[in-house]
């Protein structure tokens, strides 16, 4: 083969190899980890006022026990308690059923005193999904529940998974954003965005504030 043709072929092969490497490097650079610092948060989802149907709604109070809701681990949970107390009081006054959950290894007496369960309030214990291994689904069905109001901690734990579990079971889910908490604002922001953008069940969720809930 003539030297000139051989040189051209080798040059083309070299260029192709370089191009291939550039494509691979470019593809690697597209991972979310590589782009992490350049991500821009989407606009906040809208908050809507809600009128509660007292006959078909239940309030879920998730993991306000001292093991998960304390100044050291989640000070934002402690800060949410006064507001959540107003929701709990309004629900009780309206005759809306209230169900409490606690995290594993805790007991009902560990729930924040301002949010303490009444004698007839069910208290269930589970991991992040409060439907898992508990009677929560039966409790809600027996009460004719079609809508749940979900408050609690952690936003990315009990709130996210239990709210999703309710939506998967065909219920409407109301989430007052000032009634959920996590270790930091980024986590709460992610969860709020996720709830209304998750495929299939996203339309089941309504974001609101406690002041916008009317019984």
Q: How far apart are CA 49 and CA 99, in angstroms?
A: 23
The per-residue pLDDT for range 43-100, each reduced to its tens digit, is: 999 999 999 999 999 999 999 999 999 999 999 999 999 999 999 999 999 999 999 9
Q: What is the mean pLDDT of the chain?
A: 91
Looking at residue 30, its pLDDT comes to 86
Q: Are strands 172-176 and 123-126 parallel, antiparallel or unpaired?
A: unpaired
Q: What percent of the chain has pLDDT over 90?
A: 85
Q: How far apart are CA 86 and CA 139, in angstroms?
A: 24
Listed in order, strand segments (DSSP E) in 46-179 are 50-51, 57-62, 98-103, 123-126, 147-153, 172-176
Over 50: is that where the pLDDT of 6 sits?
Answer: no
Q: Which residues contact 74 (CB under 8 A, 6 or more apart)?
A: 68, 153, 154, 181, 182, 183
Q: What is the pTM of this model?
A: 0.87
What's the whole-number mean pLDDT along residues 133-155?
Answer: 98
What's the whole-number mean pLDDT along residues 128-154?
Answer: 98
Q: Which residues contact 79 (CB under 8 A, 6 or more apart)?
A: 181
What's the whole-number mean pLDDT along residues 111-119?
Answer: 97
What's the whole-number mean pLDDT along residues 175-204?
Answer: 97
Residue 9 pLDDT level (bands cut at 50, 70, 90): very low
Looking at residue 42, its pLDDT comes to 95
Over 70: is that where the pLDDT of 212 sits?
Answer: yes
Looking at residue 77, its pLDDT comes to 98
- Give me the CATH topology for the region 50-214: Rossmann fold (3.40.50)
């Amino acid at each position: 083969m003539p030297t000139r043709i051989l040189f051209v072929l080798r040059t083309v092969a070299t260029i192709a190899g370089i191009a291939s490497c550039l494509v691979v490097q470019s593809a690697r650079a597209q991972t979310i980890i590589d782009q992490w610092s350049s991500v821009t948060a989407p606009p906040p989802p809208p908050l809507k006022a809600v009128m509660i149907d007292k006959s078909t709604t239940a309030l879920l109070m998730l993991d306000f026990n001292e093991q998960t809701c304390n100044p050291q681990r989640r000070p934002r949970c402690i800060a949410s308690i006064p507001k959540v107390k107003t929701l709990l009081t309004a629900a009780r006054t309206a005759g809306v059923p209230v169900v409490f959950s606690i995290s594993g290894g805790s007991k009902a007496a560990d729930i924040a005193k301002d949010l303490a369960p009444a004698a007839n309030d069910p208290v269930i214990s589970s991991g992040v999904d409060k439907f898992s291994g508990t009677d929560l689904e039966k409790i809600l069905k027996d009460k004719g529940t079609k809508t749940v109001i979900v408050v609690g901690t952690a936003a990315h734990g009990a709130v996210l998974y239990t709210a999703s579990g309710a939506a998967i079971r065909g219920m409407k889910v109301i989430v007052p954003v000032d009634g959920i908490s996590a270790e930091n604002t980024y986590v709460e922001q992610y969860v709020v965005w996720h709830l209304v953008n998750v495929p299939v069940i996203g339309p089941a969720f309504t974001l609101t504030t406690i002041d916008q809930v009317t019984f």
